[in-house]
Chain A
Amino acid sequence: MSILEVKELCASYSSSGPEILKGISFDVAENDFLAIIGPSGAGKSTLIRCINRLVEPTSGQIYFHGQDVTKLSLRELRKVRREIGMIFQEFNLIDRMSVMDNLLSGRLGFTGNIRTLFKAFKRKDIESALKLLERVGLSDQVDKRADELSGGQRQRVGIARALMQEPKLLLLDEPTSSLDPKISLEIMNLVKEMAFELKVPCLCNIHDVQLAMDSCNKIIGIQEGTKMFEGVPDSLNKEKLQEIYAMEVL
């Protein structure tokens, strides 16, 4: 059964501007780890931001658990967003807040305004935050400010924050592009393990083709807003890559 179905998705940043996405369709099944590859400017980030409508699509449908996300009111959209965890290239942590508060911000969709104002999160949330921090290996950093951490540690906090939502889908926007190769591999392995443990399907933008092929069970390749390839990693050969990147790949 597919968790996410995307049908003929189009997007552009202004009504007169160029189309970023030109009718992309794909779906994500339970236990899928789907990688989206393609050259810079192909529309990978836009595509992933359309799923939770951080970018508004211009046409097409996005079915999340059978519900069309594109038709939802803002209130309903927030309910859907809290079911979808997101991990970012630049980590997007709140620098001035502690690691714990950053994790708890993942629970905002389930927290009322008064509790938000006094940062009075539920005991259950704090306990699951501690558990997640232990799992990602940051138990000793609970009270550190987010900007005191190294890049790899920051991304671990980003992963833990997304998992705090107990998501039914994970969106990853270039999660390793700000990290060095060794840390990148660690982070990808961590995501893969966690997704497997918690049975969360993942949709991941990535431009490191090797890393993509190692982590995912399905790849789609896009170029200039059009899907050029879809299949299992093994079927992605040199010719297909050249087509996606529109250049000679060594």
Chain B
Amino acid sequence: MLWKFYESHKKINLNNEKFVLKADDIIAYRRRKRGRRFFIYAFLLVIVFWSVKVTIIEDTDWERMGSIGKVISSAARFFGVDFNLFPDLLIPSLETFMISLLGTFLGVLICIPATWFGALNITPFKPITYPIGRLLMTLSRSIHEIVWALFFVSVFGLGALSGIFAIAVRSVGFIAKMSAEAIEDIKPGPIEAIRSTGANGFQVLIFGIIPQVIPQVLSVIIFEWEINIRRSAILGLVGAGGLGLVFFRQMNTFNFHGVTAVITAILGIIIIGEFVSHYVRKKVT
């Protein structure tokens, strides 16, 4: 920046004598910069005020919220756990767990073609298949799991199957992208050696490519499964099975202690998932 300032001075300096920066120059430069910075800060401040006005001041139902004391007592309704609900949470918890497992598994299956197409060095026909592979990955990641679940609920109807598909499709983006990148980074030497034995493409895949990427890919899959437990816990909100459905029902019947019970259960299975994930990932790498 200072250099640009120096350059502009040099242009004015017609007799082309050597230009040396003086303290005055530096101060003048900083003053000019200060003005611009002030303008930017002022602009940001106006935007923040405007956002607060539109989204908070005008959009909030202040009447209903009432006084601060009322807010606190509203929040306090959630304090306490409805222990009677726990036996009924066992099956939905298991269902959530299963949705995450089957969803991740199905996702991995969908990942196989997506990875094959989306890895530059193995894609079968670069100008067409590579963009398809990358599009699949981006599509999967850029749509939220709730939106995917809404989509599959309207396709398959209410129930866990929709949840499984939502999880599977949402998982493809991350797993396939990381796997494709791992494949793009493989060492070419062993591939050359396997090809030189007269192996075909499939054999090169089994003996040359997969052994090189398997630890990374497994680690990514397990990490994604851990995330999928969280995801499948809320999918029931839109009718795609699991704990989310119970959560929704407790909320609708104003059983706030029941809501807390469900949240506790979600926390429980996430912690279990994290333990398993940590242990298994340590094993494979």
Contact = CB atoms under 8 A, between A and B. Distances in A.
A94 B200 contact: no
A117 B199 CA distance: 13
Interface stretch (A63-71, A83-91, A192-200, A242-250): A83-91
B127 interface: no
B197 A82 contact: yes
A52 B193 CA distance: 11
Contacts of B193: 86, 88, 92-93, 105, 158, 161
Interface string B8-45: 00000000000000000000000000000000000000
The majority secondary structure among interface residues of chain B is helix
Contacts of A80: 198
A54 interface: yes
Given A96-B214, A116-B207, A52 B200 contact: no
B198 A81 contact: yes
Nearest to B202: A113
Contacts of A82: 197-198
Contacts of B198: 78-83, 108-110, 165
B197 A109 contact: yes
A32 to B, nearest CB: 20
A117 B206 CA distance: 7
Given A88-B189, A105-B207, A108-B207, A96 B212 contact: yes
B203 interface: yes
Q: Pick the most buried of B193, B200, B206, B211: most chain A CB atoms within 10 A of its CB.
A: B193
A106 interface: yes
A86 B195 CA distance: 10
Interface string B41-84: 00000000000000000000000000000000000000000000
Interface of B: 189-190, 192-200, 202-203, 206-208, 211-212, 214-215
Interface of A: 52, 54, 78-84, 86, 88, 90-97, 105-111, 113, 116-117, 158, 161, 165, 171
Listed from nearest, the 4 A-B pairs whose CB atoms lie closest are A109-B198, A82-B198, A92-B193, A81-B198
